Structure 1
């Protein structure tokens, strides 16, 4: 069994763009839910100061992440004027192709860092999708 990938990205919300970010998050979540049945979880959050957007996703494997990055690219581009990507953290073992696409996404959305975290110990009780 392939271990899941845990994806977390954080972005600064540009001045005056909060309403557009909230609308865009809802639109993107609906788009992804309808088209990615393998994706285990996909959640947006805004911090209490309403200045940072965080996305948390759980993919069953690297192929799911690759598909997500390809499918979502046009939708992600719509966020370029709304946010500035600060960071993408991936916990697990993404493929080299996924890592390359993550770096492209970070650059497109403001030049944030991409950090990979390799598993060392632990377990998941996620059922297979």
Structure 2
């Protein structure tokens, strides 16, 4: 059974930059929403202590997520001022080799990536 492609990335917030990250997010979300019509969900949450944020993305398939990675690569909206970088990635669904390579280029080599490839069931509204 094929399910949605779900991507979760944990990112470390730069010291003293949580408020700046909070202010940055609405423009970033708008940018993604305008350029990625197939994305089902795109959310950012902060950790309780404010040292990390997580992006949760829900895509109908891997093509949609590959498009997202291309949109991010072409973006001039930088998160480098507020986020130190990705500390872990979780993928629900089977990523293509192109996705894994783009993630390595964008997030960096050595970032732990957990893949749960098989969808047993569920629903998305």
Q: TM-score, structure 2 length as denominator?
A: 0.87
In structure 2, the residue matched to 1:36 is 36
**Offset of residue 115 of structure 1:** 2.5
Paired position in structure 1 for 2:58: 58
CA RMSD between the two structures: 2.1
Matches within 5 A, 1:77-92: 78-83=78-83, 84-92=85-93
- Any idea what SS the aligned residue of 1:56 has? strand
Cα distance change of structure 1 residues 2 and 76 upon mapping to structure 2, 3 Å threshold: farther
Alpha-carbon offset, residue 76 of structure 1? 7.9
Corresponding residue number in structure 2 for 1:114? 113
- How many residues are treated as equivalent by the alignment? 124
CA separation of 1:76 and 1:95: change in aligned 2, threshold 3 A? farther
Is 1:96 matched with 2:94?
no
Deviation at 1:112, TM superposition (A): 2.9
Distance of 2:25 and 2:108 partners within structure 1: 20
Q: Which has the higher contact order (CA 8 A, sep 6+)?
A: 2
> How big is each residue's C-alpha offset from its partner over 1:70-129, in whole Å with a ceiling of 9 and x where there is no partner?
012244871123212101111101111011111112119xx632222221x5213225xx
User: Post-superposition shift, 1:48?
Assistant: 1.7
- Corresponding residue number in structure 2 for 1:126: 124
Work out whether residues 28 and 75 of structure 1, in 8 Å CA contact, stay in contact via their aligned partners in 2: no
What stretches of structure 2 of length at least 5 have no aligned partner? none
Q: Is the 8 A contact 1:10 1:86 kept in 2?
A: yes
